Amino acid sequence: MLIHIKYKFKLFLLGAIGLATAFVSCQKEKGLTEDPYAGGKKPLDLTFVTKTIDPDVVNPGDVLSVKVKGLAKYISDFKVYVNEIEAEVVPASTNDSTLTFKVPLTASTGSMWITSQGQSFFGPIVKVGGKISVDASWKIINGSVSANGFSTVLDIETLPGGNYLVGGEFNDFELKGTEKLPIGGIAQITGDGAYTTSGLNFGKGVGGALKQINSIVRIPTGSQAGKYIIAGSFTSFNSTRPNRQTLNNVARLNTAGTLDSLILRDVINPKPQETFKNGDTVSAFNAGVDGMVRKAFVFNEQIYLVGNFNNYKRMYLPNSSYDEKVYDYTRMRQMVRVNMDGSMDSTFHYNKSTRQSAIGANGIVLDAMMQADGKLILVGTFSTFNGVQANRIVRLNLDGSVDNSFGAGTGANSDINSIRYNATTNKIVIGGSFTTFNGKTATGVNLLNADGTNVSTFNSQAITGGITTFAGQLNNGKIIVSGSFNKYGDYLRQGFMVLEANGQLAVGYNNTGGFQGMIYDMVETPITGGSQVILVGNILRFNSTFPHNLLRLNFSN
């Protein structure tokens, strides 16, 4: 029976192949008699002759003329756009071969095109100048680099001499690292962006875990003045040896960039024949947590760590050996305050009766800031903090309890991704995916007073096509906003815009074209006639440049 089945199947297969061959043969003989694209509209005989704009950079409101061909047929039925903003045509000087128009006041750098009868004809790039420009003197060339192709600068810290420290997720910077000596998550640049190791030598930088630094803070005063606190996700500093992976996402560095360490004598040694293990070198800042630290702050000679961790960790030195470390754990969710030696301050966010912290946020802490009086403001995805309603934003007292005097009210109706405070304006800016804040319509960005109340004169327009991931205010009141959005109200803004303090687009400051990536931090420096602003993050493209995660812009007053 099996033989007959196989035989019948072979006959069926041969028959099917024969039919397919015959069908293909017929099709070849018949040929293709129908155009699959027939019935479409024929293109209009309208073209651009001009390939580039003269002058190379124009200003909003300027009158431009470009050469075209065939415009006369459509003279009463066409529109002109500059990067999706409709431009006013000047009829008196527009004809079959010349198109004259005014650059829209809210236009930004991008292509220009003509639309008529449902068809679009693209012309040259219009580079719109204005009061904001990429600083050509900025010396970053390759920026932060990572072996896995993904790198980000997450924080920037200004140094007293005018240099900067940058921290993030990278293992090379300006292609100055090597396989044996990588630049792990931290680098120094001069005021004009040049990579330098002058006065600071970080060795291999951070290693282990995610190998990233989220926060760098210089200790300004006190017994440890001039040293640095680094925090993020890492287990070592300037070491790749397994038994030296003893850090827990936070460390203190000396003024020269080395790990602030402590030499121990008479350490427990299970292998007495290895006499060098009778001693050990450990971190002098004996503190850590079991998860990522997003922000670190210094206030009154104490260190605040904020993130998404569950436990505080401290090395128990009497029972630790050279190869094996023993840790004491204390349940501390999302926040902990420690002294300069790393010991935990049990008067902050800690319940002595339960011997653990309060419950903290019921979601993720995405960003945080500290006010001048030491109070913390946290933002993120949470809706309660310590069991108290706190919709995506909360201010804490100096003991870590919820500050009920904070005027945020009902807070935000969706996530807050970033928070920044400007001491000159005394205002707080928040950015995220929310559409209301404390009963007020506020799409993606909002301006607050220092007490958390809404600034009544700030009224944002709808942000569409994406969300806000960063917002920060300049000293002149203008607000930088970035994210994945593509429109602000009716205006095209491709992921980056500058607003006035009242929420309107700042005329003359929105001349830039497309933005791609994310901004995580910014530093503003006053200069004659304006200011320079350094933006860091995962910045892939800005206008027509490729910043490699560090960008400096010039802002004119």
The verdict on 122 and 206 lying in the same domain is: no
How far does the chain reach from its first CA to its final CA, in angstroms?
A: 93
- The distance from CA 492 to its chain's CA centroid, rounded to whole angstroms, is 21
The verdict on 261 and 343 lying in the same domain is: yes
CA separation (Å) from 503 to 72, 170, 434, 465, 498?
Answer: 42, 36, 16, 18, 9
Residue 331 lies in a domain: yes
Query: Which of 325, 357, 389 delimits the end of a domain?
Result: 357
The verdict on 227 and 322 lying in the same domain is: yes
- Give the pair of three-digit tokens for residue 205: 């930088």
Query: Which of 129, 154, 181 delimits the end of a domain?
Result: 129
Residue 221 lies in a domain: yes
Helix, strand, or coil here: 278? helix
Contact 173, 198 (CB under 8 A): no
> How many Cα atoms sit within 13 Å of 25 on the Cβ side?
6
Residue 90 lies in a domain: yes
Residue 425 lies in a domain: no
Q: Residue for token digits 């108290």?
A: 388
Q: State the Cα angle at 313 between 308 and 314, rounded to 5°.
A: 150
The C-alpha torsion from 403 through 404 and 409 to 410, rounded to 10°, is 80
pLDDT for the residue numbered 41? 72
Among 494, 483, 485, which residue's Cα sits nearest to residue 538?
483
Buried b / exposed e over 387-400, threshold 16 CB at 10 Å, is eeebbbbbbbeeeb
Model's pTM, two decimal places? 0.85
Domain of residue 124, residue span: 47-129
pLDDT for the residue numbered 32? 52
CATH code, domain with 109? 2.60.40.10
The verdict on 119 and 244 lying in the same domain is: no
The verdict on 351 and 209 lying in the same domain is: yes
Residue range 488-521, pLDDT digits in tens: 998 889 899 999 999 999 988 988 888 999 999 9
pLDDT for the residue numbered 328? 97
Residues 6+ apart with CB under 8 A from 524: 474, 475, 531, 532, 533
Residue 495 lies in a domain: no
- The distance from CA 201 to its chain's CA centroid, rounded to whole angstroms, is 27
Q: State the Cα angle at 337 between 301 and 234, rounded to 5°.
A: 100
- Give the number of domains in the chain: 2
Among 37, 170, 211, which residue's Cα sits nearest to residue 550?
170
Specify the DSSP element, H or E, that contains 419: strand 416-422
pLDDT for the residue numbered 106? 77
- Give the pair of three-digit tokens for residue 38: 């027939």
Residue 520 lies in a domain: no
State the CB neighbour count (10 A cutoff) for residue 486: 15
Q: State the Cα angle at 329 between 325 and 335, rounded to 5°.
A: 125
Query: Which of 320, 338, 357 delimits the end of a domain?
Result: 357
pLDDT for the residue numbered 65? 96
Q: Strand 57-58 relative to strand 119-128: parallel, antiparallel, unpaired?
A: parallel
The dihedral sign for the CA sequence 246, 250, 255, 260: negative
Contact 175, 199 (CB under 8 A): no
Low-confidence residues of the chain, pLDDT below 70? 1-40
pLDDT for the residue numbered 3? 42
The verdict on 125 and 205 lying in the same domain is: no
Residue 159 lies in a domain: no
Contact 50, 67 (CB under 8 A): yes
pLDDT for the residue numbered 109? 83
The verdict on 105 and 236 lying in the same domain is: no
pLDDT for the residue numbered 19? 47
Residue 93 lies in a domain: yes
Residue range 98-109, pLDDT digits in tens: 999 999 887 888
The verdict on 119 and 229 lying in the same domain is: no
